[in-house]
Amino acid sequence: MTAPVILAGLNHWFGPFHALKDIDLTIEAGEYVTLLGPSGCGKTTLLSVLGGFIDPSAGEVLIGGRDMTHVPPAKRPTTTMFQDYALFPHMSLRDNVGFGPRMAGMGRAARNARAEQLLGMVGLASEADKRPHELSGGQRQRVALARALAVEPDVLLLDEPLGALDLKLRRAMQDELKSIQRQVGTTFVHVTHDQEEAMAIADRIVVMNAGRIEDVGPPARVYRAPASLFAADFMGEMNHLPARITVEGVETPFGLIPQALPPTGRAVACLRPEAITLGEGQVRIGPARVRDAAFFGTHARAHLVPDATPDLTLVAHLPPGAMPAPGDSLDLSAAFDAFRIFPVKE
């Protein structure tokens, strides 16, 4: 089962603290959306509003076209997968997963069959009689997922579900979550502060900061063409260059970039580290001295000081084959469309 979600004009205050500011968001049925942002940005508050654990101060929540703003969690077509999994320690895995169907009045045989089917889906069919404390972190996470899906929610809400897992397991679980979501077709809303996780898993990423939505879009778009400076910085490493928007284009320390923007004066030109290339290009950064470099497997990450701007240090991801040594001089450039320009409000 699946349903679209519409959030309109949501605002929420915790006392004097404005936690959600004018949130408008539409999530399609069957979509995998991640809410991405630093801690305290309001992403978990937004999830709690969706799940019915927080009654928003203003605005409305529509799920499958019905107004759910003030409906308690038990009566919503949503289930939440909590950060600490919140499994019932005194029940077997079968009873944990069968809890939701039991509350819905399903008989013992039917709900055991349903629980075993879902445990099979997450690869724990043979562990149905175990208790949660006998499982590893990753297994508990799977049980929590099976338990949440057992009630066939229209929307599954995941609150930093992979936060407690080690990196390797987290990457494996991301793939699994995604494939299970494809299989069941339920709308997933997933909260995380890890931008790699968001990119790996989401159809669309919602970048949040200080209670506001900064950017919404598919991972590649949000990474390459972020809507705000905050989104640009949060999605990955970013070089900031001082710039100036004039009628002719954008003036940077490395020359003019032809972009038709309203001439608002001071601006920041952003350049991803991997967009800095060796040799000739549309924008010539020119010779730069290597301050230090480290080998990362897929690339060499170097700090470079261009001769043209001695007080600016650039971070570049260079091909890993030729490791630069500190003190080397490299000739650098970048393409016009690699730059993102954000006007600075004065």
Partner 1 sequence: MILRMLPWAYLLAAFVFIYLPVGTLVLFSFQEGSLPVPPFNGPSLRWYGDILGDDDLTGALLNSLLVAFGAASVSVVLGFLAAYGLARHVLPGSAVMRGLLIAPLTVSYLIVGLGLLIVITRAGLGLSLVTAAIGHVVINLPIAFAIIYASMGAQQQNAERAARDLGASEAQVIRLVTVPMLMPAIAAAFFLSVTLSWDEFIIAFLLTRFDVTLPVEIWSMLRSGLSPRLNAIGSLVFLVSVSVVLILELLVFRRRR
Residues in contact with 108: Cβ distance below 8 Å, sequence separation at least 6, in sequence order: none
103 binds partner 1 (CB under 8 A): yes
> Of 58, 104, 172, 294, which one interacts with partner 1 (CB under 8 A)?
104
336 binds partner 1 (CB under 8 A): no
Judged by CB under 8 A, does residue 74 bind partner 1?
yes
84 binds partner 1 (CB under 8 A): yes
In order, the DSSP letters of 120-156 are HHTT-GGGTTS-GGGS-HHHHHHHHHHHHHTT--SEE
The verdict on 13 binding partner 1 (CB under 8 A) reads no
**Cβ–Cβ under 8 Å, residues 328 and 241:** no
Cα four-point dihedral sign 333, 337, 339, 343: positive
Q: Which lies closer to partner 1 via its Cβ, residue 50 or residue 128?
A: 50
Question: What residue has token string 């320390």?
Answer: 253
Stretch touching partner 1 by CB under 8 A, among 76-84, 134-142, 257-265, 272-280: 76-84
CB of 103 to partner 1, least distance (A): 4
Amino acid at 207: V
Q: Cβ(205)–Cβ(36) under 8 Å? A: yes
Distances (CA, A) of 201 to 179, 198, 248, 274: 10, 5, 41, 22
As a whole number of angstroms, the distance between CA 203 and CA 33 comes to: 6
Smallest separation (angstroms) from partner 1 to the CB of 54: 12
**Does 88 contact partner 1 by CB under 8 A?**
yes
Rounded CA separation 297/334 (Å): 22
Q: How many CB atoms lie within 10 A of CB 51?
A: 21
133-162 binders of partner 1 (CB under 8 A): 147-148, 151
- Establish if 79 lies at the interface with partner 1 (CB under 8 A): yes
Site stretch for partner 1 (CB under 8 A), options 73-81, 165-173, 232-240, 327-335? 73-81
- Segment 246 to 285, residues that bind partner 1, using CB under 8 A: none
Interacting residues with partner 1 (CB under 8 A):
51, 53, 72-74, 78-80, 82, 84, 86-91, 99-100, 103-104, 147-148, 151
